[in-house]
């Protein structure tokens, strides 16, 4: 039913429905109440405070380069580059620049040149001043040095200082890794070490010892400076192990088998995938095999330890292919590897603890008794029975004895 109205309102219509059509009026009123409730429960639009013109203008103005906030962000980026050893060209990358802009739109990232010429050198000088202040409180110290080359074959010489503070705490500070383009002769290294100590205000008379590897050039350099030298424990242990096992055929065979086994998996992606599946099936650690490298000390022990850890998974994968079944370690090889590895690991840990202890002893003796120069006076601190090569050979003899007894028992049983 349509009822025309002059003023186009619905009041007269509702009055008519109320008087003439009671049921229809009740239906309309109920529908009207539902719509009213919906409108009431709808979320009201958030009342946002209107930004003033001054505030809007300030949010778009970049920080001044000399402002406190700009310096804080620049120092944080510089610290990130130095601490995490990031390349300086990271500040030119689009992704990094977008990150900075997202964090703070008012900060304008300086160029790479600014970091290389100003920010990083400034942070280095500040850090150097802090280390120099520490070293002024040191009466006696020891140092370690090494010569090495970067990936681009650029030569460097590193120098680290060790000392005991007033609370008898062992402290170490890497003083420098300096570019060393000169020939690595004993004379050049000798002068380089002297200049390094002098640049940090350290007196040679306060140095109780310097630890180096067994390179002839570095040994000659220390001799020319008339300094007390201690051999690098890691280098000595590496050479001792090599000398002790090279004449043992059983260990050589087992070690060679490990190398072939690891090499086979390193050259086959299919075998790597099968090994991962076997590790998951046997609930073994998801570890990759380790390759032995002559120049990486301790890598042989790590390789053997990993092979023994993954022995079940390796045997499962290799046995499934008749072409690789010969690489499965036999029980004799496993017996030898387990015996010698146990002695290696225990000896390694004990020797490391002993060397750390001896470093503290040398520094303490130097500080309390004014230890004079001369290697002879330090030799009394190192008993002869702690000779590394001798002890490793003795442990190998014990392993061979155990291996021989096992073979005899098996022979008697058969």
Residue 216 lies in a domain: yes
Tell whether 42 is covered by a domain. no
Q: The domain that contains 190 carries what CATH number?
A: 3.30.420.40
pLDDT for position 193: 96
Measure CA 163 to chain center. Answer: 24
DSSP structure string for 100-145: HHHH-TTPPPPPHHHIIIIIHHHHHHHHHHHHHHHHTT-SSEEEEE
Are 251 and 394 found together in one domain?
yes
pLDDT at residue number 247: 72
Task: Tell me: pLDDT of 373 over 70.
Answer: no
pLDDT of residue 370: 45
CB of 182 closer than 8 Å to CB of 192: yes
Strands (E), 150-301: 155-164, 170-179, 207-212, 229-231
More confident site: 251 or 412: 251
Q: Bigger pLDDT: 212 or 36? A: 212
What pTM, to 2 d.p., does this model score? 0.62
Instruction: Indicate if 272 and 287 belong to the same structural domain.
Output: yes
Q: What is the pLDDT of residues 281-336, one digit of tens each?
A: 999 999 999 988 877 777 888 898 899 999 999 999 999 988 888 888 888 888 88
* Same domain? 336 vs 363: yes
In this structure, the answer to whether residues 337 and 252 fall within a common structural domain is yes
User: 317: part of which helix (H) or strand (E)?
Assistant: helix 311-319
- Single residue among 185, 201, 231 that ends a domain in this structure: 231
Higher-pLDDT residue of 116 and 247 is 116
Domain C-terminal end among 130, 159, 188: 130
Q: Quick check: helix, strand or coil at residue 155?
A: strand
Q: Are residues 312 and 197 in the same domain?
A: no
State whether 86 and 177 are in the same domain.
no
Q: Does 144 lie in the same domain as 89?
A: no
Domain check: are 174 and 308 in the same one?
A: no
Closest CA to 237 of 157, 354, 361, 359: 354
> How many whole angstroms separate alpha carbon 178 and alpha carbon 224?
21
The answer on pLDDT for 380 being more than 60 is: no
Q: Are residues 195 and 84 in the same domain?
A: no
149 plus 298 within the same structural domain: no
User: To the nearest whole percent, how much of the chain has pLDDT over 70?
Assistant: 73
Confirm whether 209 is domain-assigned.
Answer: yes
pLDDT in tens, 9-34: 677 777 777 777 777 777 777 776 65
Domain boundary among 101, 130, 159: 130
In a domain, 26, yes or no: no
Q: Are residues 297 and 272 in the same domain?
A: yes
Give the mean pLDDT of 355-384.
45
The predicted model gives 45-52 an average pLDDT of 58
Instruction: For residue 281, tell me if it sits in a domain.
Output: yes
CA distances (Å), origin 95, targets 51, 60, 92, 111 = 31, 22, 9, 15
Q: Is residue 268 part of a domain?
A: yes
> Do residues 281 and 330 share a domain?
yes
Alpha-carbon span 177 to 157, nearest angstrom: 6
Q: Is the per-residue pLDDT at 381 higher than 60?
A: no
- pLDDT range class, residue 67, cuts 50, 70, 90: very high
Domain that residue 357 falls in? 244-413
Query: Contact, 262 vs 314, CB < 8 A?
Result: no
Counted domains in the chain: 3
**Residue 30 placed within a domain:** no
């Amino acid at each position: 039913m349509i009822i025309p109205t002059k003023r186009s309102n619905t009041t007269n219509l509702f009055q008519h429905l109320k008087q003439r059509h009671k049921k229809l009026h009740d239906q309309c009123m109920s529908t009207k109440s539902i719509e009213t409730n919906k409108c009431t429960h709808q979320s009201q639009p958030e009342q946002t405070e209107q930004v003033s013109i001054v505030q809007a203008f300030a949010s778009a103005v970049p920080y001044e380069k000399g402002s406190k906030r700009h310096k804080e962000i620049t120092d944080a980026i510089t610290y990130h580059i130095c601490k995490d050893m990031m390349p300086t060209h990271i500040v030119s990358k689009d992704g990094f620049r977008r990150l900075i802009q997202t964090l703070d739109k008012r900060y304008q990232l300086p160029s790479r040149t600014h970091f290389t010429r100003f920010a990083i050198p400034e942070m280095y000088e500040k850090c150097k001043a802090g280390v120099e202040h520490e070293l002024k409180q040191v009466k006696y110290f020891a140092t370690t040095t090494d010569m090495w080359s970067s990936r681009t074959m650029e030569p460097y010489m590193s120098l680290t200082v060790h000392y005991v503070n007033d609370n008898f705490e062992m402290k170490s500070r890497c003083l420098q890794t300096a570019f060393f383009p000169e020939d690595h002769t004993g004379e050049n290294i000798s002068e380089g070490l002297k200049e390094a100590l002098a640049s940090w205000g350290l007196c040679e008379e306060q140095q109780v010892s310097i630890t180096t590897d067994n390179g002839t050039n570095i040994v000659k350099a220390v001799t020319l400076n008339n300094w007390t030298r201690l051999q690098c424990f890691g280098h000595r242990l590496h050479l001792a192990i090599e000398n002790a096992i090279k004449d043992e055929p059983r260990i050589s065979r087992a070690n060679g088998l490990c190398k072939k086994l690891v090499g086979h998996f390193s050259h086959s992606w299919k075998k790597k995938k099968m090994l991962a599946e076997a590790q998951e099936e046997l609930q073994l650690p998801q570890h990759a095999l380790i390759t032995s490298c002559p120049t990486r000390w301790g890598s042989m022990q790590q390789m053997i330890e990993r092979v023994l850890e993954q022995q079940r998974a390796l045997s499962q994968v290799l046995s499934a292919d008749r072409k690789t079944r010969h690489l499965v370690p036999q029980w004799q090889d496993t017996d030898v590897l387990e015996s010698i590895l146990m002695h290696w690991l225990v000896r390694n840990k004990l020797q490391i603890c002993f060397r750390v202890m001896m470093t503290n002893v040398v520094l303490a003796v130097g500080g309390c008794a004014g230890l004079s120069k001369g290697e002879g006076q330090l030799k009394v601190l190192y008993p002869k029975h702690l000779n590394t090569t001798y002890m490793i050979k003795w442990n190998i003899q014990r392993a061979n004895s155990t291996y021989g007894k096992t073979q005899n028992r098996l022979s008697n049983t058969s």
